[in-house]
Structure 1
Amino acid sequence: MGQYATRFPINVIVDMLGLDRADHGRFHVWYTSMIDFLGNLSQDPEIAAAGLRTRDELAAYMIPIIQDRRAHPGDDLLSVLCTAEIDGTRMSDEDIKAFVSLLLAAGGETTDKAIAGLFRNLLAHPEQLAAVREDRTLIPAAFAETLRFTPPVHMIFRQPCEDVEVSGGTIPAGATVTCLIGAANRDESRYADPDTFNIFRADLTTGSAFSAAADHLAFALGRHFCVGALLAKTEVEVGVNDLLDAFPTMAFAGGEVPAESGVFTRGPGSLRVRLTRRA
């Protein structure tokens, strides 16, 4: 996880923003601190203090760069954020810094779990891994099935604007509803053999799996559909291809399928793999 699955999306985000690649390591430290802070359900004071330090350190790093990029824009994402305007209004330095924090948290935490989950699922089904290795056009199907079978985000919150009838009960307007994506994606009335990982299943449409017309709910739906879905698809396709190209064989180092962990976001905490390097 720490050597590949997490590093890949964070490096991509830093590079998209046009920031110094020499600072990749700093961003990984900040990212880890941010994710620990957001998941600090036990209110550990040390984790909370580290999260607040990260907030201050990231602001001290980003604000001068944002101000310079306003004066000297380039062709990177940060320059686009600095120069974009709607009806004559531009984002403030603080807005842009906060957006960078959101990119790191939302774009890193979900994609690293997706990459790890995909390999966990394929390694647990060697015949499907062999098929993907032989035909790389199956990677999107493997990713789509991973999003259904082991979605990185398991909960999403909604508030209905009017009363809604569901399964014989009523959800009142304004109530906060915790929707369990992981459960919905295992709905036996929607998917055949839902508790089985199968990249060849006929009831999951790969072509629409990364759009608002997706058959699964891992990216949510409607106006709150994940804006980073296509970026995640590209990252996963490149990341998986690169790893398969570099290592012609791979298997679980311990021989057992690693367990998932997490409540709001979920995935393998550790994924130790024995790799054979290509000659």
Structure 2
Amino acid sequence: MTVMPKLEDLVDQSFDPFVVEKLSTGDCPDPYPRIHELAARSPVIEGSYRMQFTDVPDAQMGHLPQVMVLGYDAVLHVLTNPEIFRNKEAFAPNLGKSFGNTVTVMDAPEHTRFRKIFQKAFLPQVVAKWGESVVDPVVSRLMENFIHRGEADLIEEFTHHYPFQVIYAQVELDPAQGPTFHKLAIAQLLSSIGLPQGPEASGKLGAFFTELLRQKRANPGPDLISHLANVEADGEKLPDDVLVSFLRQLMNAGGDTTYRGTSVLLTALLTHPDQLAAVIADRSLIPAAIEEALRWEGPVSSTFRYCSVDTEIMGHPIKAGTYINTVLASANRDPEKFPEPDKFDIFRKNTVRNLAFASGPHLCIGQHLARVEMTRALNAILDRMPNLRLDPDKPAPAIIGHLLRVPEHLWVKFDAS
């Protein structure tokens, strides 16, 4: 049996990385009027997406030449031309410092080799099995804490916890180490802005996963790390440094995005009670509700690429060395692709798919797991919280942020069981 390594906390245990992270995502109540205004002017606009919504200087990227790319066609062009618009240079100064040699920071041919192996580990049929064995027990355990009360804050008591606890279960982490794990996972992101807690957290998570991986290779089990350690494609397995870097990123890429996606899904349905009623009456509408929530308020509003050669986007010249703010939120609310794009409508007839999980070779590896988790969470809530509605005595939910949007609270009432 594996003896779980002990995670070391930050030296300064009073340091709160969550406060710093919250500052970086902003408190903008609605970035879309500005996004629409920019997109109406041009699909390519000089400047930084971040600086449209904050006066706080960007110490990390502010000195670099940047353009914003807006609208579905322009964004898709960037995402699907990786030989021109590269990941490595775009993310090496930030995510590379935090996570190491992760697939997000790779380009072909290295990225192609390793992604092929990861894709085998996250095939839909593999992920579907985790729904019942891993996701459902976590969801049920969390709901037991409030199901008897007839009221809850679904953000603070549920969505902010369950995707991360799914990850803890997948790697067989001792629940007592969960808070330290979460803290280190967030703190490592601070490497990109020069705070010493960033590399400290990355080092401690790296040491933890290196030892855990050694143990799992010697005594594999049904857990995710054993699975990743042994999966292969074309006779090749994942090298330790690539796997450890992926595991460092898992908390952020897997947990955080699902937390935001589920929070937005529940908020959207509860603030559109007619559509919530339709989903309650017909659960086959859940996939459409999830896709519409991802389109309407995707987990990430903008991502970066690096222009490696002189080129053009929609007829606009782009110089080599330019950093591209690829505004996914603009693509997903492009009125030419999604009529009345600011309206949440699970019955909308889409002619194109949303880009919430990006597109091209860097399409999110964990997208199938995110959808499984969102589906399982919503089904459990509808099963066990009858007459679900917003709490009229509490403030209505407000989705905030310019980069990673989510409501801070979602107060609800329901018939207690």
Same fold (TM over 0.5): yes
Cα pair 1:31 1:105 within 8 Å, conserved = no
Mapping for residues 124-203 of structure 1, pairs under 5 Å: 124-203=271-350
> For 1:182 and 1:192, how far apart are their aligned partners in 2?
15
- Determine the C-alpha separation between the residues in 2 that align with 1:96 and 1:116: 29
State how far apart, in whole Å, the 2-side matches of 1:156 and 1:236 are: 23
Equivalent-residue separation in structure 2 for 1:61 and 1:232 (angstroms): 25
> For 1:273, what is the secondary structure of its paired residue?
strand
The CA deviation at 1:186 is 1.1
SS at match of 1:4: helix
TM-score, length-scaled by structure 1: 0.82
Question: Which of the pair has the greater relative contact order for Cα pairs under 8 Å at 6+ separation?
Answer: 2
Residue 243 of structure 1 pairs with residue 381 of structure 2? yes
**TM-score, with length taken from structure 2:** 0.57
After superposition, residues 71-110 of structure 1 pair within 5 angstroms as 71-84=218-231, 90-110=237-257
How many residues are paired up? Answer: 262
In the aligned structure 2, how far is the partner of 1:41 from the partner of 1:71?
Answer: 35
Q: Which residue of 2 aligns with 1:263?
A: 402
Structure 2 unaligned regions, length at least 5: 1-154
Measure how far apart 1:142 and its partner are.
Answer: 0.7
Counterpart of 1:228 in structure 2 is 366
CA contact (8 A) 1:10 1:28 kept: no
Distance change >3 Å, CA 262–CA 32, structure 1 → 2 = farther
Q: Per-residue CA shift, 1:232-257, capped at 9, x if unaligned?
A: 11111001101111101223335543
Change (3 A) 1:40 1:75: closer
Q: Decide whether the 8 Å contact of 1:70 with 1:79 is kept in 2.
A: yes
Query: What residue is the counterpart of 2:79 in the other structure?
Result: none
Please give the secondary structure, in 1, of the residue aligned with 2:349: coil
Q: What CA distance in whole angstroms lies between the structure 2 residues aligned with 1:91 and 1:191?
A: 40
CA–CA separation in structure 1 for the residues paired with 2:414 and 2:164? 23
From the superposition, tell whether residues 41 and 71 of structure 1 become closer, same or farther in structure 2 (CA, over 3 Å).
closer
Separation in 1, partners of 2:192, 2:342:
29
CA distance in 1, matches of 2:271, 2:263: 12
RMSD over aligned CA atoms reads 2.7
Gaps of 5+ in 1: 205-213
Match of 1:64 among 191, 203, 211: 211
Contact 2:188/2:202 (<8 A) preserved: no
